[in-house]
Structure 1
């Protein structure tokens, strides 16, 4: 072989090695430098590289990574500088045991708070501190030191933040003192949703962009809250729960956008003074004495809860027409009615939806007269939907019998607008049978009647309740034997006294009992 032919062969090999396919072959032979994953093959360590990221603009990568859950984004940041850079300027930060992949039962409370604090601190100290739009911290374990919380909030509360949700545990009954200066130094001017739980909050001014304010178990006085509200004119929703230091809640007339007011379990609250002109939705518990006549004339929807058995339905019928005469929707949750519904002249001229839920609180042996609810229906001339839910462990009322033929009737009380009626937790109390029969006979526009002998989580579903197709399923909650016995008596009363009275134009839905969970043993 001549020297020229050898040279031509070597040149041909160099050309192959310089080609794309040749470079890939050479890389497989020699291995590529700077690779991350190592594997052993035949006693030699082979190394393989991660594929390079596509060349996309950084904004597109950021948009993709910002949509990932925080835990996935943090894992991605461990394998790529591009991903890590995106993590450091992530605008939506949500920290909880779930988002950080922690299991408190596995590691214990003390170990859990240490791991939780270290992980959050590691992310927050490396965060750029710019572009944070939402910051959520929810932790209900052991005490987190205030120095950590202050440092995290100092990074999170920056110009441009829109939502702040913050909930941490107390320490020996002492609440964390929220650093209000961070909010009111100009960094919080863009915040729209502020949700604080289990902390002391002493605002010094208002927040011009704030639309939703939720305070739960927060130490704040009525004057401090008033200072915040008077200077937060964009506020649309205010929710207070377990804020016991508030004695007087004053809603100033400057809150033109305030539409929804929610107040629960503020034990120190004595009075609500509402001058905000457009409050139309109110959710609250407690007595009507907190509401001043003339302050709630524009309210169209009211949801009220009574957990102390103060005959909420009775007092609502007697007082609400004067306090909120323009109601269109009324939901009442009473844990014990000691007084029957009165017959009065005052009426709800605009009420279209009425829900009454009666619990099984301490009524001191009083047997509630369900038939007296006719007076409530009679006070609602345009009522269209009526639902009565009875949640009780026993029936104290007189039960109807097969020989009982005398039924109270009020033919002069007509309800021409009622279209849909639901009675959930139907029992064989004579007064409940009388109420149902009265509605059938006097609701001339009635289209649908739904009856369920048990009130539970499935009561609002379809007419049938059966677990025959799923032998591992159970009704939740499983009622007691006494409740099951009353349910069967309720179904008997429906078949004996109700079904035959329902006109053919009315659709009757009688929900069956569960063939497995509601058997009489």
Structure 2
């Protein structure tokens, strides 16, 4: 507002001096731009839910915008209940009361509805939840995410599929359901992403939903134990990503979608989706309850000529990587994670050096990552003065540029594999060695294992000893073999939880730059 118009409303200078509070209130009012209501609605729709609610407390315009906020994320955090220490049953009543007040006063037009009740084990009254879904799921909604209570004793909520009928669910693009029962009777025309976690749904019900949702692009199933056979229709031309984990009853996946290019799956190789695999470009396989996944991937994987990225996570290995004529002609990224935490599946006779045959099978491989997480090293250790190192002359890896080994230990076969890469990867640019298995730690800076309580994650003395021994081995056997054109990066250990060192040895290492 202009100064002249403000002076007319305030009257004489004497009146202005006599009422400073009124002057302050008018200045506050004049600081709010006079914008059309739909513009204010759009501005507040961009705010997170808690900020939009605060704005609704200070202005009538903002209050109407808050009541039509299109993105509703209702959780313990957004409702500011995460710091409460009251009993869980009372906390559940407060949560229900607040959500119910928000939904009753909402004027409609919801685009995203995210209700997260998974931090509370108390059962939520289904009459309230059904009412909230009826308010939220209307034509125009794009995303629905529902997370129900955790725990085996939690009662499964029956998702009311009729709320999706009569055109209400035709605009939903993302549907995320956790810990509930879901029995759809029709497809969702705009559905592109479906995520089901611990959802009770039958295989034929899911197959019917997929075949009627022609825009489907991504499907993720986790712990859906009612599915025995999964069928993916040939009509899903846009379907490109499939993730299946911990579905214990699943026996077979029948894939007929022509453009499936990214698969993440746990279990044996035999569970891979059958059908057209010509478009497969990324494959992630995880099985922490069975060993020999790397061996089977080398010997049993079906032909996928266009595969570019392969990640294998296994519970250790019993058999060495076989020598086969099968090639991964377009594979550029290979990651192998070995973990003995579940079954202790590491065999003392397993030869890390045999992984060189896997590298041989990938003529255009550019990046190789090896992660080994083990409680103790069971393999033959390299000894001082050991010069009997195996070599594979003629096995040249022309395209490998980046190699990272996590959990580097003093096993002789691991040292031989590292030296083999340094000698035969003619395009190698960077080698990163980490004596700990830490998939989230990058760079050369010293790591910190300190958690929220100010304490490091627990580690056994043997693990700490092996980490220091691994660094000593790097200094003795690897450092001298690094060419001047290769950048060596050695990850430092945490200075707090790795203070225990074996008696009688010292190690020195450095980082080299080309």
Same structural fold, with TM-score higher than 0.5 when normalized by the shorter chain: yes
Q: Which whole-Å deviations, capped at 9, do the CAs of 1:377-409 have from their partners, x for residues lacking one?
A: 111111111111111221111111003221222
Please say if residues 123 and 155 of structure 2, whose CA atoms lie closer than 8 Å, have aligned partners that are also in contact. Answer: no
Please say if residues 165 and 196 of structure 1, whose CA atoms lie closer than 8 Å, have aligned partners that are also in contact. Answer: yes
Q: Which whole-Å deviations, capped at 9, do the CAs of 1:203-261 have from their partners, x for residues lacking one?
A: 11111111111111111111000111011111111111111111111111100001111
Unmatched tracts of structure 1, length 5 or more? 1-17, 38-46
- 2:115 is the alignment partner of 1:137: yes
Cα distance in 1 between the residues matched to 2:481 and 2:20? 88
Cα distance in 2 between the residues matched to 1:202 and 1:162? 20
Q: Which whole-Å deviations, capped at 9, do the CAs of 1:330-367 have from their partners, x for residues lacking one?
A: 11111221222111121111111101111124246622
Partner of 1:244: 225
| Secondary structure of residue in 2 paired with 1:412 | coil
Matches within 5 A, 1:21-32: 21-22=10-11, 26=15
- 2:319 is the alignment partner of 1:330: no
- 2:418 is the alignment partner of 1:455: no
Q: Which whole-Å deviations, capped at 9, do the CAs of 1:176-199 have from their partners, x for residues lacking one?
A: 111111112211111111111111
| Secondary structure of residue in 2 paired with 1:218 | coil
Partner of 1:310: 291
- Greater Cα shift, 360-369 or 269-278: 360-369
Aligned counterpart in structure 2 of residue 232 of structure 1, from 209, 213, 219: 213
Q: Which whole-Å deviations, capped at 9, do the CAs of 1:489-512 have from their partners, x for residues lacking one?
A: 111211221122222222222223
Cα distance in 1 between the residues matched to 2:447 and 2:111? 47
CA RMSD of aligned residues (A): 2.7
Q: In structure 2, do the counterparts of structure 1 residues 264 and 86 end up closer, same or farther at CA, with 3 Å as the change threshold?
A: same
Aligned counterpart in structure 1 of residue 104 of structure 2, from 121, 125, 144: 125
Q: In structure 2, do the counterparts of structure 1 residues 334 and 191 end up closer, same or farther at CA, with 3 Å as the change threshold?
A: same
| Secondary structure of residue in 1 paired with 2:283 | strand
- 2:369 is the alignment partner of 1:387: yes
Q: In structure 2, do the counterparts of structure 1 residues 156 and 427 end up closer, same or farther at CA, with 3 Å as the change threshold?
A: same
Q: In structure 2, do the counterparts of structure 1 residues 366 and 49 end up closer, same or farther at CA, with 3 Å as the change threshold?
A: same
TM-score w.r.t. the length of structure 2 is 0.88
Partner of 1:412: 394
Please say if residues 215 and 241 of structure 1, whose CA atoms lie closer than 8 Å, have aligned partners that are also in contact. Answer: yes
Please say if residues 317 and 342 of structure 1, whose CA atoms lie closer than 8 Å, have aligned partners that are also in contact. Answer: yes
Cα distance in 1 between the residues matched to 2:75 and 2:129? 14
- 2:477 is the alignment partner of 1:504: no
Aligned counterpart in structure 1 of residue 194 of structure 2, from 198, 209, 213: 213
- 2:234 is the alignment partner of 1:259: no
Matches within 5 A, 1:472-483: 477=457, 479-483=459-463
| Matched positions, count | 487
Please say if residues 457 and 476 of structure 1, whose CA atoms lie closer than 8 Å, have aligned partners that are also in contact. Answer: no
| Secondary structure of residue in 2 paired with 1:78 | coil
- 2:181 is the alignment partner of 1:194: no
Matches within 5 A, 1:428-443: 428-443=410-425
Please say if residues 265 and 272 of structure 2, whose CA atoms lie closer than 8 Å, have aligned partners that are also in contact. Answer: no
Cα distance in 2 between the residues matched to 1:475 and 1:296? 47
Cα distance in 2 between the residues matched to 1:26 and 1:491? 80
- 2:497 is the alignment partner of 1:517: yes
Partner of 2:249: 268
Unmatched tracts of structure 2, length 5 or more? 1-6, 502-514
Please say if residues 71 and 99 of structure 1, whose CA atoms lie closer than 8 Å, have aligned partners that are also in contact. Answer: yes
